[in-house]
Chain A
Amino acid sequence: MNILLPALSPTMEQGNLVKWLVKEGQQVNSGDILAEIETDKATMELDSPDDGIIQKIIVEEGTENIPVNSPIAVLKVEGEDEDSSSISIVEEKSTKNHANISNDIKSTSVSMSSIFNNQVADDKNWTEIEITMREALNNAIAEEMELDEDVFLLGEEVAEYDGAYKVTQGLLDKFGSKRVLDTPISEHGFTGLAIGAAMAGLKPICEFMTFNFSMQAIDQIINSAAKSLYMSGGEINVPIVFRGPNGAAARVAAQHSQCFVSWYSHIPGLIVVAPSNARDAKGLLKSSIRNPNPVIFLEHELLYKEKANVPSENDFLIPLGKANVINEGSDLTIIGFSMSVHRILSVLPEIQKLGLSPDIIDLRSIKPLDEECIYQSVKKTNRVVIVEDGWGNTSFGSHLSYLIQSNCFDYLDSEIIKVSGKDVPMPYAENLEALALPTKEEILSAVKKVTYKN
């Protein structure tokens, strides 16, 4: 049986073999630790998949950048043929289309960076560096904390652990434990505390490990943060940013995969932002931190690793409420935000093959909404497709299509089509998960329908 280098995290592509803890010829039992593997994040232990004898060590210790799933040793298991392997051999039909699905997801993210890098620089000659969205968010927080003593950060695992998704890496070292605080798993409590601190004039950045857990605190967000200014007749404002990953990551199932855009944009008093790329993420987060209102800042875990050219100046801001036309065309308008922008871009080549050139609008801010930008485009193209990852029932996309029909009624040449997530809790199985979210086929068929191409 070949022992393969395992993937110890969903993003791991290669690893280093730090140390063998066994020798050739040694008898091992299943579960015994065989070696130490180092990944981009950590050193981990590799355990034996079976009882047997280490017949051969293929990869010497100290070897670096070994691709995941390559053989690193041979384990001789009693009663087993020389070349059979319980893990690698049981390759059955049903996993075949797994690969397709993940390629699909991959390609949606890869196509991004060039488009966002080509975006017209926002009125100034910035010094740009190519960084990931994770780094861009980190820089935004660090810069604002440096500029304003009142800004502080709290949340689960944000400090000593460097953030569950590494967005807050290094901030504890930089700013100390007074300003970067690990909380217990008490969302309702620490959210209320942060809102209180904001009422007293501080500017908290409150991280939810994921927005799913903001539901524990949703009463404080809606009843305390969103309404205080109004209830106090303008006396008490709540300058706070709630941020964290939103929407469906990969295979984390129903309770950890949902989009909160429709939930929070329903609430008067909240600002809602959902960037699709690193550049916007930095500019929008800085604007959000400086904004005197409560801001819901919705990130996406699958976009954290995506890179774009991002200005390194600390006065680079993107205004809230400004959409971005990332592809100019004349035949139809396709509107998205956050991850759905990537889904749209992944079908752009096919749309172009139909001889169509779309305006693609990345909303960036959900509330306030850049209505002017949307209506201008619709009045030009007369046809609209809206793509949202969240559930379609009473959704933000539904509201958007209402706004368009009431403001551009005379300009529309077709019904507006909305492609949303299916009206089901997110399933775990890979094939069902892919189907639950807006698919390429659905976007393409919506495009064909509004342009009468089918």
Chain B
Amino acid sequence: MAKKISNSFSNKELLGFYEKMFLIRKFEEKAGQLYGAGKIGGFCHLYIGQEAVVTGILSSIQSEDTVVTSYRDHGHILARGVDPKYVMAELTGRKDGISKGKGGSMHMFSKANRFYGGHGIVGAQVPIGVGLAFAHKYRNEKKISRVYVGDGAMSNGQVFEAFNLASLWSLPVLFIIENNRYGMGTAVNRSAAGKDLYERATVFGVEGEKINGMDFFEVSQAAIRARDHIYENSMPYVIEMDTYRYRGHSMSDPATYRTKNEVNEMKSNDPLISMKNKLMKDFKIKEDEITDIEASIKKQIKEVEKFSLESPLPELNELFTEVYL
């Protein structure tokens, strides 16, 4: 496997992906701490544990491609290249936030980075993502829309309607099911009948597969396969990621629905640690090189924190702006 990957990515590129994963992890840890300190309010859904999914997909993305996801969106917007300080300032509800403090954790967008949110209503992003794909096809652009959807959301009706439309109209969209095994406190086998979730798309003629979403390399390979499939066949594709969130659903989750053992077992499979080990073993990257990257990210996160706390609250007249164009 290592060989195959090394054909496609230089060590420098691979280190870049690791850096992104590490950035997301440290960013989310900091967000959790700032929530604990009362600096972030409302709902705050952390992405810790699922970093390999978004980074693996990133390895297949063209900068013009579009992305849309749910409320668990911090990692996704960081992966799209938005400066973390604007993301953190959104979490603290400040003027310099990416949505000027008006959207918060669940509602972040960046047109410049082709990131279309940040949607709080379960399932809503899926037809929206199909609509992005519709626009790409309509304009004859060689772009792919990537839509992330949770395991819980996979039982929401509009998701099925979206699969049907995407296939019926041959739209360039990749559905990425982030099956982290729970939708809030409901294990996937208590919310979804049938076998694998991706089969809910395949019945509509969308080809797809299920893979290990805890491994960057596996995700990356599947993402590239999917991209090629979409280019060659002008048809949608679906990948179900077997993944896991280490933290609670939102910050105030009693987490009584799963055992500590289960969480610890999944932690032994940490996507960051496994990528780091592979980089050293299979790609002969020196540990120093990696720890240097880690140190600079940690330093960056301190600056991000400071920025997000020093940025002022939005001006009061912001309340009434941007309701209409």
CB distance from B71 to the nearest CB of A (A): 9
Report the nearest A residue to B253, measured CB to CB. A42
Q: How many of chain B's residues touch chain A, expressed as a range?
A: 35 or more
User: How does the 8 Å CB contact mask read for A1-42 relative to B, with 1 for contact and 0 for none?
Assistant: 000101111111000000000000000001100000000011
* Residue in B36, B104, B153 whose CB lies within 8 Å of A253: B104
Known contacts A216-B121, A424-B319; decide if A182 and B186 are in contact (CB<8 Å): yes
Cβ of A252 and Cβ of B42 under 8 Å apart?
yes
**In the complex the two chains form, is A427's CB within 8 Å of B186's CB?**
no
- Contact with A6, one of B33, B122, B255, B309 (Cβ below 8 angstroms): B33
Q: Which residue of B lies closest to A36 (CB)?
A: B260
Q: Of A119-127, A195-203, A327-335, A429-437, which binds chain B?
A: A429-437
A380: CB under 8 A from chain B?
no
| A213 at interface by CB-CB < 8 Å | yes
Cα distance A47–B183 in the bound complex, in angstroms: 24
User: Shortest beta-carbon distance, A300 to chain B, in Å?
Assistant: 16
B310 within 8 A of A: yes
Q: How far is the CA of A384 from the CA of B185 in the complex (A)?
A: 46
Instruction: List residues 405-447 of chain A with CB under 8 A from any CB of chain B.
Output: 422-425, 427-432, 435-436
B1 within 8 A of A: no
* Chain B residues, Cβ within 8 Å of A252: 42-43, 104, 106
Decide if A256 is an interface residue (CB 8 Å cutoff). yes
Please report the C-alpha to C-alpha distance between residue A425 and residue B321 in the assembled complex, in whole angstroms. Answer: 10
Report whether B38 and A7 are in contact in the complex, using a CB–CB cutoff of 8 Å.
yes
A185–B320 CA distance with the chains assembled, in angstroms: 33
Known: A429-B313, A430-B313. A253 touches B103 (CB 8 A): yes
Question: Is B169 engaged at the interface, CB distance under 8 Å to the other chain?
Answer: no
A48 to chain B, nearest CB (A): 9
- Taken together as a complex, chains A and B put the C-alpha atoms of A434 and B101 apart, in Å, by 13
Q: Does B6 contact A (CB under 8 A)?
A: no
Complex CA distance for A30 and B178, rounded to whole angstroms: 26
Residues of A within 8 A of B157 (CB): 186, 188-189, 216
Q: Are A253 and B42 in contact (CB under 8 A)?
A: yes
A275 to B199, CA, bound (A): 45
Q: A161 on the interface (CB 8 Å rule)? A: yes
**Is B19 an interface position by the 8 A CB rule?**
no
CA distance A51 to B120 in the complex (A): 34
- In the complex, are the beta carbons of B186 and A157 less than 8 A apart? yes
Q: Which of A10, A251, A427, A430 contacts B319 (CB 8 A)?
A: A427
A346-400 contacts to B (CB < 8 Å): none
- Least CB distance, B100 to chain A, in whole angstroms: 8
**Are B122 and A254 neighbours in the complex by a CB distance under 8 Å?**
no
Whole-angstrom distance between the Cβ of A348 and the nearest chain B Cβ = 26
Contacts A47-B33, A432-B101: A255 and B121 contacting too (C-beta < 8 A)?
Answer: yes
Contact bitstring B228-252, A, C-beta under 8 A = 1, else 0: 0000000000000000000010011
Considering only CB atoms, which chain A residue lies closest to B267 in the complex? A33
* Nearest A residue (CB) for B156: A185
Minimum CB–CB distance from B15 to chain A (whole Å) comes to 20
* B-facing residues in A231-256 (Cβ within 8 Å): 249-256
Kindly state whether residue A49 has any CB partner on chain B within 8 Å: yes
Cα–Cα distance between A435 and B306 once the two chains are bound (Å): 26
B186 proximity list for chain A (CB < 8 A)? 156-157, 160-161, 182, 184
Complexed CA–CA distance, A188 and B160 (Å):
13
Q: Please indicate the chain B residues that have their CB under 8 angstroms from the CB of A255 in the complex.
A: 106-107, 119-121
Query: With A157-B186, A164-B184 known to touch, is A427 a contact of B318 (CB < 8 Å)?
Result: yes
Q: A81 at interface (Cβ–Cβ under 8 A)?
A: no
**A37: nearest chain-B partner, CB-CB:** B36
B302 adjacent to chain A (CB < 8 Å): yes
Q: With A and B bound together, what is the CA distance between A432 and B100 in angstroms? A: 11
In the complex with contacts A161-B257, A253-B104, A184-B155 CB distance below 8 A: yes
Chain A residues contacting B192 (CB-CB under 8 Å) are: 184
A58 at the interface (CB under 8 A from B): no
CA–CA, A161 to B190, complex, Å? 12
The reply on A93 being an interface residue by CB < 8 A is: yes
- Chain B residue numbers with a CB within 8 Å of A157 are 184-186
B41 within 8 A of A: yes
Within 8 A of A (CB), among B290-310: 298, 302, 305-306, 309-310
Q: Which residues of A contact B38 (CB under 8 A)?
A: 7, 68-69
Cα of A16 to Cα of B34 in the assembled complex, Å: 20
Measured between C-beta atoms, what is the minimum distance from B301 to chain A in Å? 8
Please provide the chain A residues from 42 to 57 with a CB less than 8 Å away from any CB of chain B in the complex.
Answer: 42, 44, 46-47, 49-51
Q: Select A87's contact among B34, B105, B310, beta carbons within 8 Å.
A: B34
Known contacts A10-B41, A255-B106; decide if A429 and B101 are in contact (CB<8 Å): yes
By a CB distance below 8 angstroms, the chain A residues around B33 are: 6, 47, 49, 87
Quick one: given A69-B38, A184-B155, are A428 and B312 in contact (CB under 8 Å)? Answer: no
Stretch at the interface among B24-32, B55-63, B137-145: B24-32
Supposing A251-B93, A252-B42, A255-B119 touch, asked if A427 and B102 sit within 8 A by C-beta, the answer is yes
A7 touches B319 (CB 8 A): no
Q: Is A224 an interface residue (CB 8 A)?
A: no
A428 touches B93 (CB 8 A): yes
User: Can you name 18 A-B residue pairings with CB atoms under 8 Å?
Assistant: A9-B252, A10-B41, A90-B306, A94-B311, A97-B313, A157-B184, A184-B152, A184-B156, A216-B123, A216-B156, A251-B41, A252-B104, A253-B103, A255-B119, A255-B120, A428-B105, A429-B314, A430-B93
10 new A-B contacts, CB < 8 A, other than A255-B121, A427-B101, A427-B314, are: A6-B36, A42-B255, A90-B309, A185-B152, A186-B156, A253-B102, A253-B104, A254-B107, A428-B41, A428-B102
